Structure 1
Amino acid sequence: MKDQTFALVVLMFCVCARGSLGKTELVKDTYEEDTGVMFGKWIKEHKRIYSSVEELSDRFTVFKDNLIQIQKLNQLYSNMDVSFGLNRFADFTENEFRNKVLMPKRQPAVFPQINAYKSLKIDTEMPEQFDWSTKGVVTIVRDQGDAGTCWAFSAVQNIEGQWAMKSNQLTELSVEQVVECDASQDVAQNKADCGVFGGWPYLAYGYIQKVGGIQTENDYPYCSGLGGDKGTCYICQADEYNKTLCGPPVTYCKKEDSCDAKIKPNMFVPDLKIAGWSWIEKNETKIAEALMSTGPLSVAINAATLQFYKSGVWDPLVCDPTSLDHAVLITGFGTSKGIFGSKDYWKVKNSWGKKWGEDGYFRMARGKGKCGINTQVTTAHLK
């Protein structure tokens, strides 16, 4: 009955919108639809449920504003190989996107020289295209949901690649274990892993090394964000959660959702042990060489303008490389050739679901240090 009532409300809302709201033209799209009908289709596609007619109306207002923003972006970048469009963030304001999905802004960490990556010489000439996602060492795209857990996805997916590179079966590892159990700290740099409030891949490597391993996704499934396969959960912060570095903890959680209740060291993936980690220098040619010889690499970026990315090479006109708020995984590189000329890019795996971007991936300008993508490039090393 509730679903039927909601469907009726949406139908009435869209019919009213058709008669009064006019039309919004989206640049680079071949169709022109009434915004109310478009919103109804978007709700169905993304399975949005609103608690009241008032919330529905408020979200429709945000949706309309975002359509205008998308149109402006497509106009602004009309001479570049990139397009913007509706996705699951279409009813998020800019502030909601920053607060729910991205991490708090932070300066890049300064890595110790002892962890510097020792380059392996590439005997052959660098290819024009290279992509680990087609070579059986990259797991499926997942969805972090409305939680700042990208740092854990980035770190864990790097480890998944390292594990597969050693001729092991490609295995999805537990992001949730890292989110719930890791409270590692680098006090000297004011860095810490803060669960759903953000963290750092290099600290996550250290946590997994310290505890002796990690469980699989099947054994310890993700639930921190709305995109979790098991829905939401009220997680507890790890025992050593640093309020000073991370901010106030979640005010309520269930004991059965705590790390202590859920972690099972006897179920750690056998023989998967971290020996250490390395960082790669900012030179993007060196990063490409490291990617080819080592495997997919964890990176951090400024993702503030990535909300409505649809396809193409993302090369934002303004993007502070020292203000990082998102962590992702570089899986490859290439060169895009089109009517606007050639552009070198990184192929990057995101954690916003497969419907976002290019099947969950995006391409980002390479060779410019764009958005800080070259400042926090790291990889774990397995024993």
Structure 2
Amino acid sequence: MILIFVFGLFFALEGKQFKGIERLPDSYDMRKARPGVLGPIRNHERCNAYWAFAASTVFTARYNIKCHANITHSVQDLISCDLSDNACIRGNGKDTLDWIQKVGITDERCFIYTSWTGHVTKCIQMCHNGSNIVRHKYSNITYYNSPDDAMYSVMNEGPVVMNFPVDSTFEKYSGGVYAPKNAQFVEVREAALIGWGNENGQRYFIGQAHYGEKWGEGGYFRLSRNLSNDMDFYAGTPKCN
């Protein structure tokens, strides 16, 4: 693999793993750095497919950045068609990214979100508008070795999927820097990592959630970086077609 040195950073031409020489900035926010790239804030309502929302959000932004597009990808396509996960009950973000690499994901106009009721629609053979289904894929998947590697990727390639521990207070989050209060985590959730910051010495990640715009901080949340040892980060490189 050929490496290029630019402005204090080594970048791999194949692109997915790179190591910073200079430290990361104290703060970064994709909403300001790349306005219009992130898809809309969505609300899962009665379908707890956190894995699918995170995966579709990350793919949408990365595809739009790399392919100079303006598409929102279908969360319903993953919920209904991804055989490696369990629809509205539970899923695994890593399996989902593998599914997108092998099978792909279509756009929201083709397969709109219907599982807000908790009912899982069958996988479609034609788009809702009668056109043929076109699915976009990842060419490769990257599992980041450290939060810093994931954060460099957010700056250069787009958001990454992060999974993180939560307790029962997370769904009632209304602002501030979140950290589970209960040492016995209830479960692991997944969301799109879109930035980070520092508030009075308290470092945090910025995540895009899927509880609607009235939840949290306009649909987003800040997560304590002290949880990094209990987190995983992963994403892929979209094919443009």
1:202 to 76, 87, 94: 94
Q: 2:151 aligns to what SS in structure 1?
A: helix
Give the match for residue 235 of structure 2. 379
| Preserved contact between residue 302 and residue 319 of structure 1 (Cα < 8 Å) | no
For 1:366 and 1:358, locate their aligned partners in 2 and report how far apart those are by CA, in whole Å. 18
* Cα distance change on mapping 1:233 and 1:127 into 2, 3 Å: closer
Q: 2:175 aligns to what SS in structure 1?
A: strand
Shift of residue 346, structure 1, vs aligned partner: 0.3
For 1:171 and 1:260, locate their aligned partners in 2 and report how far apart those are by CA, in whole Å. 19
Give the match for residue 154 of structure 1. 54
1:294 to 126, 140, 157: 157
Give the match for residue 196 of structure 2. 333
Shift of residue 325, structure 1, vs aligned partner: 3.2
Measured against aligned partners, the alpha-carbon deviations of 1:279-325 in whole angstroms (never above 9, x if no partner) come to: 112x333332232233201011222221211111112343456x643
Whether 2:142 is the aligned partner of 1:278: answer: yes
Letter in structure 1 aligned against 2:87: G
Letter in structure 1 aligned against 2:237: H
Q: Higher relative contact order by CA 8 Å / sep ≥ 6: 1 or 2?
A: 2
Shift of residue 208, structure 1, vs aligned partner: 2.4
Shift of residue 130, structure 1, vs aligned partner: 0.4
* Long gaps (5+) in structure 1: 1-116, 185-192, 226-231, 236-256
For 1:126 and 1:302, locate their aligned partners in 2 and report how far apart those are by CA, in whole Å. 24
| Preserved contact between residue 126 and residue 132 of structure 2 (Cα < 8 Å) | no
| Preserved contact between residue 177 and residue 259 of structure 1 (Cα < 8 Å) | yes
| Preserved contact between residue 280 and residue 290 of structure 1 (Cα < 8 Å) | no
Bigger fraction of residues in helix: 1
For 2:62 and 2:43, locate their aligned partners in 1 and report how far apart those are by CA, in whole Å. 21
* Long gaps (5+) in structure 2: 1-14
Task: Please give the TM-score of this superposition, normalised by the length of structure 2.
Answer: 0.81
Kindly report which structure 2 residues correspond to 1:1-383, keeping only aligned pairs within 5 A, or say none.
Answer: 119-122=17-20, 124-134=22-32, 135-136=34-35, 137-184=37-84, 193-211=85-103, 213-225=104-116, 232=117, 234-235=119-120, 257-261=121-125, 266-268=132-134, 272-281=136-145, 283-304=146-167, 305-320=169-184, 324-337=187-200, 342-369=201-228, 372=230, 374=231, 376-383=232-239
Measured against aligned partners, the alpha-carbon deviations of 1:21-72 in whole angstroms (never above 9, x if no partner) come to: xxxxxxxxxxxxxxxxxxxxxxxxxxxxxxxxxxxxxxxxxxxxxxxxxxxx
Give the match for residue 4 of structure 2. none
Shift of residue 131, structure 1, vs aligned partner: 1.1
The percent identity for this pair of structures is: 24
| Preserved contact between residue 277 and residue 379 of structure 1 (Cα < 8 Å) | yes
| Preserved contact between residue 300 and residue 324 of structure 1 (Cα < 8 Å) | no
Bigger fraction of residues in strand: 2
For 1:118 and 1:222, locate their aligned partners in 2 and report how far apart those are by CA, in whole Å. 31
For 2:158 and 2:112, locate their aligned partners in 1 and report how far apart those are by CA, in whole Å. 25
* Cα distance change on mapping 1:368 and 1:326 into 2, 3 Å: closer
Aligned residues: 220
Q: 2:100 aligns to what SS in structure 1?
A: helix
| Preserved contact between residue 149 and residue 179 of structure 1 (Cα < 8 Å) | yes
For 1:170 and 1:131, locate their aligned partners in 2 and report how far apart those are by CA, in whole Å. 19
Measured against aligned partners, the alpha-carbon deviations of 1:94-130 in whole angstroms (never above 9, x if no partner) come to: xxxxxxxxxxxxxxxxxxxxxxx95313355421110
Larger radius of gyration: 1
Letter in structure 1 aligned against 2:193: I
